[in-house]
Amino acid sequence: MPNAILDPTGTVTTSAAKQAAPRALRPASLQGKRVGLLINTKTNARPFLEEVGRLLEEKYDVSLTRRTKVNFAVPEPEDVIKELTAEADVVITGVGDCGSCSAAAAADGVVLEAAGVPVAAIITESFIPTADAMAALRGAPGYKYATTAHPVAVLTEDKVKERAARVLDDVVALLVEAPGTVDEA
Amino acid sequence: MTAAGTEGAAGDVVAAAPDPDEAQRAIEYCYEQGWSDGLPLVPVSKPLLDAFLATTDKDPEEIIGSLEQVGRDVNVYLAAINAAMAGCKPEYFPVVLAAFEALMGERAARGGGFQSTSGPSPLIVVNGPVRKELGFNTAGGAFGPGFRPNATIPRAIGLLVRNGFGIHPHVLEQATQGLPGRWQVCIAENEEESPWEPFAENGGVAGGVSAVSATLTRTMEFVDNRHTPNHEDVLRDLQDTIGRIGSLIFPLTSVALVLCPEHAQMFAAAGMSKADVQNWLIERSGRTGAEFKSMGKAEVARKGFRGEYEGDDAFHQVLAGPTSIPVIVAGAKNAAISMVVRIFGEWSGTAVPVGEKK
């Protein structure tokens, strides 16, 4: 009987490895809701999210709170997640336009959803594989987020606003219960 | 037939030649599992693993690195398998452990470094008697290839990131172009021809003790200057490369200066210590605001992060202090060619002693 060839791969060992992370319940509409903007500090992320927020204020009379991510490359610490859950009914985060920050946006999304807050994470199209991989790793395979074309960092102010307007419907669709559907939880 | 010895002409039992067909099947098996970085792996069996684990006092279960964002821990057991797969000899394993500890001690590696679009590569620096004991290349061709410890130890780190942390190219690893020699850069300092104290001593481990330091780098750029007896001319040449705008994305940067013995000795002969070389370059490395602006990078020429633009005429320094420009001596004393190594983020420079089995 020859010796077996040993497996060099690790397994997910920490608390990140949640099984089937639950998705938060959605409100029927964003009307009058408290929207948290979780800005990841990447170039143009702030004006992008501010414009999304401004459009939501106009359309749905939402109130905005803003936070800057502690470190764009890694998911938010537990205390920030707790504070976000307390201060916002829904959260919009982004813009994931790099290897680590797109993955972190997806991870933040999954964690906040499990804590009961619907999230719309915005990432650029170049990073779909890494966002999907991170979501699966966090127990939410098939996790849905909004995408915008890559790149975002080099856009002028006007173009950023245009992009924000274009992604708005997807963001809203991610945050509210689609008409006629039943709560998943 | 394969395992047993065969009888030589004189009746002595000689070891059978290894079975290449079986070896090839084992190598292909490793490829099929998705474990490889693209090159063949050494298939690892329990006896080989045990030989690695026997070189350290550490418990196989001891966690030696965690990446919170991917939810994975790496322990000594996994490190040993990956080091063996990379082609390390068992006696290299304490150096692998020290290199991994040094690298994971750096904020840039714990953050998003391994996932980054920059595709950074570890730079591992080895000091002390272990260089000679294990047969590291300490002379010509410092950046490789050709020497087993220099080549396989960084590869072990790469395999550990791939298999231990589960960070694969095109998935959680998002390098735009990466860099040549990623997972291949391990230099042993040429202490014998350096006019200064060993690099590890700057990182807190006294000379004469084997130690490893590590960081992530974005690339390295050579400065070939064998044209002048004037050491300040050479410093200006280095300064020109350090300030190159294409490599700058934030107001401050870090470089490791890997000096060839000839340049290092030239500076020392002019009475300069490492600190003198560092301070000379810190003061002068950079570009004017106008130069940054002409390349669309005015935002880089700011007083720190989110600070004000310093103005078209203002000279913008890119190095903050001595920790932004560690100095290492490597290579042969046969030409005046040095390397400016671009650090990914910052490098604490901390040296980790190579653990000895008690």
pLDDT band at B17 (very low <50, low <70, confident <90, very high): confident
Q: Is the pLDDT higher at B357 or at B93?
A: B93
Contact in structure between A100 and B111 (CB atoms under 8 Å): yes
pTM of the model: 0.91
CB contact under 8 A, B115 and A17: no
Residues 6+ apart with CB under 8 A from A172: A30, A56
A78 min Cα distance to partner chain B (Å):
12
Instruction: Look at residue B234 and tell me whether its pLDDT is greater than 80.
Output: yes
For A8, the closest of B113, B159, B175 (CB atoms) is B159
Q: Which of A7-11, A34-38, B235-239 bottoms out in mean pLDDT, i.e. has the lowest? A: A7-11
> DSSP alpha helices (H): ranges in chain B?
20-32, 46-53, 76-86, 93-104, 107-110, 130-133, 148-159, 199-202, 231-242, 261-269, 274-284, 289-294
pLDDT band at A48 (very low <50, low <70, confident <90, very high): very high
Q: Is the pLDDT higher at A14 or at B188?
A: B188
Q: Which residues of B touch A105 (CB under 8 A)?
A: none
Contact in structure between B104 and B79 (CB atoms under 8 Å): no
Helix (H, G, I), strand (E, B) or coil at B303: coil
Q: How far apart are CA B118 and CA B13, in angstroms?
A: 55
pLDDT band at B273 (very low <50, low <70, confident <90, very high): very high
Contact in structure between B196 and B274 (CB atoms under 8 Å): yes
Q: Which residues of B touch A101 (CB under 8 A)?
A: 112
Q: How far apart are CA A37 and CA A5, in angstroms?
A: 49
Provide the chain A residues 96-125 that lie in CB contact (below 8 A) with chain B: 98-104, 107
Average pLDDT on B60-87 reads 95
CB contact under 8 A, B71 and A5: no
B171 near A CB under 8 A: yes
Number of Cβ within 10 Å of residue B260's Cβ equals 28
Cα end-to-end span (Å), chain B: 41
Helix (H, G, I), strand (E, B) or coil at A144: coil
Q: Which residues of A touch B295 (CB under 8 A)?
A: none
Average pLDDT on A145-150 reads 96
